Amino acid sequence: MKRKRTRLSDISQKPDEQLLEITAEDLVPLPYPYDKLDTKTPIRPLTEEQKNTYESSLDGVSVVGIPKPKSKEEEDRLVKSFLSGLKKLLSKEDNWTFWQQLMLTLESCVRCQTCNEACPIYLASGEQEIYRPTYRSEVLRRIKKKYLDKGGKFLAKFTGNDVELNWPTIARLAELAYRCTMCRRCAMWCPLGSDNGLITHELRKLFSQEMGIAAKELHELGTVQQLKVGASTGITPKAFKNMIQFMEDEIEEKTGKKIKMPVDKEGADILLIHNSGEFLSWMENPEAFAIIFEAAGVSWTLSSEIAGYEATNYGVWYDDVQLARIALKQSEVARKLKVKKVVVGECGHAHKALTVIADRVLTDEANIHRESCLPLLEDLVCNDKLKLDPKKNDFPVTLHDPCNIVRLMGIVEPQRRILRKICPQFREMEPHGVENYCCGGGSGFAIMPSMNFPDWRASVAGRMKLKQILEVFQDVSSPEIKKYMCAPCSNCKGQLRDLFSYYNVWEKSGILYGGLVELIVNAMVDIKEPFIRWEWR
């Protein structure tokens, strides 16, 4: 039975009813071996206690964990606070950081819905109205028109603007701001330059900077922890140094090479900065960087200072002030070490945050040079500065394009030139490059295990990516044939890990995910044992 389409005004009504409940039938079909309809409920319902405690009336999912207001007075205070934040968003003095882009987006949309086809979440969900990329933008636009523009309430009667600004609207908008990965594929599609991903960003910012509402993993356990402890993973400088020791031992065990990973070496050419998630979950990635840099004679160092061993900057996803604080800390570390430049490891959002976005925050000595690791790796591989044997990588390989590195920075080719040189069976997914699909873990989703959100992330947000990964390997679909999904981004790997686990991809299809440098080391002539271990982790 066809579901009744959700209207814009529904967001303000029936606070105790969910606007959407996703079923298996709604979801876009997957190819073999997932081509038989899975009838199990894709998203586990929240427990009764969770439902009673947290707002979840958008789609039955809670990731922000917004407590339900206890009184009408509290609701009114929150509504007032939202409106105050919205006024600030629209003020060029208060919101100079993104005012221009926001005004362009609010004023230029012609409702042609061209962007709809670009959104992996909207498509994967079976085109559910609330996930339409223009839905949250249109709600915001109508609230602005009705409650902030002159004569707005009067005009609303004639224009049919029946969105009400009340607590249900705000609670649902807060969750809705976490149903978009900010991959900005929709912005790429928009002929007018309207950016619905930016609306997500600005909404999250309003909630965080004005109302103190943000996903715990981004704020309390993310940027706050990073600024206080040193890393969003909670790794302290002391623990980091122990991990370095562990990695040096592991490199020797795996390769027979005795490598001293330089830490806090003053005057090195490069400060290499990794997403600290690598040290916890994928140590082979920083190990591979160390092996490559040592083999090529690169002058480099790591840092054990607070924020110096953590490339992430979750501020980019929800809070401009936190973004600036972290970028400044990272540049301070580089300045103290007197390095020539900072090179960002395989972490997509760190690429964009530190190299590009922070460019308008860093001044004077803080304005150190920053760049991606990919041009350097390309130089080492493609100019034969390493001895490599492509036959060692003779298995099917495909490449995931992290949105932040590719569409949002224009680093498209270096990683491809590397793979073409060292992987004889490299193949492209469709679409790829700047038109890629997000992995589904963007904008912090990959590090959010809150309540039933991981189910939503795997079954909806990551579905289009999974579909194209399965499609590219259809000719070698047997799990006996081992295949490699190269994702040069820590958060993308986190998402792929959870996505593949949810669908048992390793067992059913034999696809392993990993970074780019691991493939380079795997092809190095003087590394006898395969560096890539074909085992699920």
Q: Say whether residue 502 binds other proteins (CB under 8 A).
A: no
CB-based contacts of 12, cutoff 8 Å, min separation 6: 162, 163, 164, 165, 166, 168, 169
Residues 334-363 that bind other proteins (CB under 8 A): 341, 355-357, 359-363
Q: Say whether residue 486 binds other proteins (CB under 8 A).
A: no
Q: Say whether residue 162 binds other proteins (CB under 8 A).
A: no
Per CB under 8 A, the segment of 229-237, 259-267, 317-325, 384-392 that binds other proteins is 317-325
Cβ of residue 448: shortest distance to other proteins, in angstroms? 15
Query: How many CB atoms are closer than 10 A to CB 339?
Result: 24
Q: Among 320, 323, 275, 208, which Cα is nearest to 441's? A: 275
397-399 and 369-372 beta bridge pairing = unpaired
Q: In terms of CB distance, is 109 or 527 closer to other proteins?
A: 109
User: Are 173 and 8 a contacting pair, CB within 8 Å?
Assistant: no
Q: In terms of CB distance, is 401 or 498 closer to other proteins?
A: 401
d(CA 292, CA 442): 28
Q: Say whether residue 387 binds other proteins (CB under 8 A).
A: no
270-273 and 300-301 beta bridge pairing = parallel
Locate 132 and state its tokens: 């339409």
Cβ of residue 364: shortest distance to other proteins, in angstroms? 7
Q: Say whether residue 534 binds other proteins (CB under 8 A).
A: no
Q: Say whether residue 39 binds other proteins (CB under 8 A).
A: no
Q: Say whether residue 156 binds other proteins (CB under 8 A).
A: no
Total site size for other proteins, rule CB under 8 A: 91
User: Are 310 and 278 a contacting pair, CB within 8 Å?
Assistant: no
First-to-last CA distance in the chain?
41
Q: Say whether residue 420 binds other proteins (CB under 8 A).
A: no
DSSP labels, 265-309: -TT-SEEEE--THHHHH-THHHHHHHHHHHHHT--EEB--STTTT
Q: In terms of CB distance, is 55 or 498 closer to other proteins?
A: 55
Residues 98-117 that bind other proteins (CB under 8 A): 98-101, 103-104, 107-108, 110-114, 116-117
Q: In the set 29, 67, 191, 256, which binds other proteins (CB under 8 A)? A: 191
Q: Say whether residue 283 binds other proteins (CB under 8 A).
A: no
Locate 110 and state its tokens: 């012609």
User: Are 277 and 234 a contacting pair, CB within 8 Å?
Assistant: no
Cβ of residue 77: shortest distance to other proteins, in angstroms? 12
Binding mask 193-232 for other proteins (x = CB under 8 A): x-x--x---------xxxxxx--x--xxx--xx-xx----
d(CA 448, CA 191): 33
Q: In terms of CB distance, is 14 or 92 closer to other proteins?
A: 92
The alpha helices in 363-429, defined as continuous H runs, are 373-382, 414-422
Q: In the set 264, 433, 450, 479, which binds other proteins (CB under 8 A)? A: 433
Is the bond preceding residue 402 a cis peptide, omega within 30 degrees?
no
On the 0-12 / 13-18 / 19+ scale of CB atoms within 10 A, 281 is: middle
Residues 168-187 that bind other proteins (CB under 8 A): 184, 187
CB-based contacts of 383, cutoff 8 Å, min separation 6: none
User: Are 323 and 357 a contacting pair, CB within 8 Å?
Assistant: yes
Q: Say whether residue 382 binds other proteins (CB under 8 A).
A: no
Q: In the set 56, 57, 134, 232, which binds other proteins (CB under 8 A)? A: 134
Q: In terms of CB distance, is 7 or 528 closer to other proteins?
A: 7
Q: In the set 199, 324, 438, 466, which binds other proteins (CB under 8 A)? A: 324
Q: In terms of CB distance, is 214 or 532 closer to other proteins?
A: 214
HSE of 105 in the Cβ direction (CA atoms, 13 Å)? 29
Q: In the set 152, 189, 248, 502, which binds other proteins (CB under 8 A)? A: 189
Q: In terms of CB distance, is 197 or 277 closer to other proteins?
A: 197
Q: Say whether residue 372 binds other proteins (CB under 8 A).
A: yes
Q: In terms of CB distance, is 206 or 505 closer to other proteins?
A: 206
Per CB under 8 A, the segment of 232-240, 316-324, 466-474, 509-517 that binds other proteins is 316-324
Q: In the set 16, 35, 73, 93, which binds other proteins (CB under 8 A)? A: 93
CB-based contacts of 523, cutoff 8 Å, min separation 6: 388, 389, 390, 392, 393, 422
